[in-house]
Amino acid sequence: MSKYQNICDSMLLSRFFDRELEPDEQTLVREHIKSCPSCQKMHREHQAVSDFFRAGMDEIVSQIRFDSLETKILEQIREKQISWQTKLKLFFLSRRIIIPIAAMAAMMFIFFSLTVKSPVSVAGPSALITSFTGDISSVMFLETPESHQTIIWFQETF
Amino acid sequence: MLTFASAASVQAGTINIVVKTVLASQNTKFADPRLSDLIRELESVFRYSSYQLLSQNAMNLNMNQTGAAPLPEDRVLKITPARITGNRAELQLVLFKGDRQIFQTVIQLLNNGMITVGGPEYKGGYLLFNISVSF
């Protein structure tokens, strides 16, 4: 208990909500919240925000044909030898991982697209995204499986 | 002849840009015949059952000249070509809603290629902005 002078610290609570604390710290804060009205209030607010974004993201993701994408991608892998940077992209798609941090995705995309030569048989994406910034809550970069049309899907903030 | 026209376009530094605004939804089953090629692409990624073309804006821009496509609900997409490198045109896209800037991005788009930007909710569905270029 003496580890923290003030458990009601917003940064500490934020790390608790994101499950970034060590197990003993997580337990400590969880116990504290049970008896602290202000931390309970913060917890409810954090939960509401998380639920809001999760619901929006779930709705968007539910509209994406991951199964179809995954099947076609795996077929292409079997049919032809493809570059390692494409395999990396397929890894992300096949695991249904969404990267909401636009800059990170864009920079990785551009890095791999520009620094490594692709085999002639593999067509590049219709668009290379060199930067993306905005007042948005999430963004995804997609590519259609056959003709590699680039899609940017974003969720506006309100 | 086509090759000559294309070369002249590059020399003049102009880019033809078309912005199609599409409403994608699951309310009905409808495929706008003017979007047949685009729908085939989108259906490989999305599960929407209806794709309706709401508007289409064509513009011919010089380098560093900004064109604006009016979009639903007071949105505007501003497009500025920066340069042509090989078979790609570098474009800056900036989306506004009213006075507020929603996002800005810089892309390198293939000649005769397209990119689709989507996400805003509209009339029970989602807006997609399909941007194609030729030069």
β pairing state of B114-122 and B100-110 = unpaired
Alpha-carbon gap, residue B30 to B50, rounded angstroms: 4
B104 or A105, greater pLDDT? B104
Smallest CA–CA distance, residue B126 to chain A, in Å, is: 10
Give the residue from A149, A17, A112 showing the smallest Cα distance to B45.
A149
Closest chain B residue by Cα to residue A148: B41
In which domain, by residue range, is A17 found?
10-61
In a domain, A1, yes or no: no
Smallest CA–CA distance, residue B118 to chain A, in Å, is: 5
Residue A18 confidence (pLDDT) = 78
Instruction: Give the mean model confidence (pLDDT) for residues A122-143.
Output: 86
What is the overall mean pLDDT for chain A?
71
A70 or A82, greater pLDDT? A70
Give the residue from B129, B33, B128 showing the smallest Cα distance to A63.
B128
**Domain identity same for A21 and A89:** no
In a domain, A43, yes or no: yes
Residue A1 confidence (pLDDT) = 45
Beta-carbon separation of B44 and A72 below 8 A = yes
Residue B20 confidence (pLDDT) = 96
**Domain identity same for A136 and A70:** yes
Residue A38 confidence (pLDDT) = 85
A114 or B115, greater pLDDT? B115
Q: What is the pLDDT along chain B (135 residues), one digit of tens a residue?
A: 444 444 444 445 799 999 999 999 987 899 999 998 899 889 888 889 999 999 999 999 999 999 999 999 999 999 999 999 999 999 999 999 999 999 999 999 999 999 999 999 999 999 999 999 999
| CA torsion through residues A51, A52, A54, A56, sign | positive
**Domain identity same for A149 and A78:** yes
**Domain identity same for A30 and A70:** no
Q: Say which residue the tokens 């390198």 belong to.
A: B108
Beta-carbon separation of B102 and A156 below 8 A = yes
Out of B88, B113, B119, the one facing A155 most closely (by C-beta) is B119
Smallest CA–CA distance, residue B6 to chain A, in Å, is: 19
Domain count within chain A: 2
Which of A39, A61, A83 finishes a domain?
A: A61
Considering only A8-22, A97-111, B24-38, which range has the smallest mean pLDDT? A97-111
In a domain, A2, yes or no: no
Residue A98 confidence (pLDDT) = 44
Domain count within chain B: 1
Residue B100 confidence (pLDDT) = 93
Contact A155, A137 (CB under 8 A): yes
**Domain identity same for A114 and A143:** yes
Angle between helices A37-62 and A23-34 (to 10 degrees): 110
**Domain identity same for A51 and A71:** no
Out of B106, B110, B118, the one facing A126 most closely (by C-beta) is B110
Angle between helices A84-94 and A102-115 (to 10 degrees): 150
Alpha helices (H) in chain B, listed in sequence order? 2-12, 36-43
Residue B65 confidence (pLDDT) = 96
Smallest CA–CA distance, residue B112 to chain A, in Å, is: 9
Instruction: Report residue A137 as tokens.
Output: 């809550």
Amino acid identity of A116? Answer: V
**Domain identity same for A19 and A39:** yes
Beta-carbon separation of A154 and B47 below 8 A = no
Read off the pLDDT of residues A22-62 as tens digits, 9 standing for 90 and up: 888 888 888 888 888 888 888 888 777 777 766 666 776 77
**Domain identity same for A44 and A100:** no
β pairing state of B125-134 and B14-25 = antiparallel
Contacts of B52 (CB under 8 A, 6+ apart): B22, B23, B25, B30, B32
Give the residue from A58, A55, A53, A1 showing the smallest Cα distance to A27.
A1
Read off the pLDDT of residues B3-42 as tens digits, 9 standing for 90 and up: 444 444 444 579 999 999 999 998 789 999 999 889 988 9
The pLDDT confidence band at residue A102, using thresholds 50, 70 and 90, is low
**Highest mean pLDDT: which range of A89-93, A110-114, B8-12:** A89-93
Contacts of B85 (CB under 8 A, 6+ apart): B108
A57 and B CB contact within 8 Å: no
A14 or A72, greater pLDDT? A14
Residue A104 confidence (pLDDT) = 57
In which domain, by residue range, is B106 found?
2-134
Out of A65, A131, A150, the one facing B46 most closely (by C-beta) is A65
Residue A26 confidence (pLDDT) = 85
CB pairs under 8 A between A and B: 105
Which of A61, A83, A102 finishes a domain?
A: A61
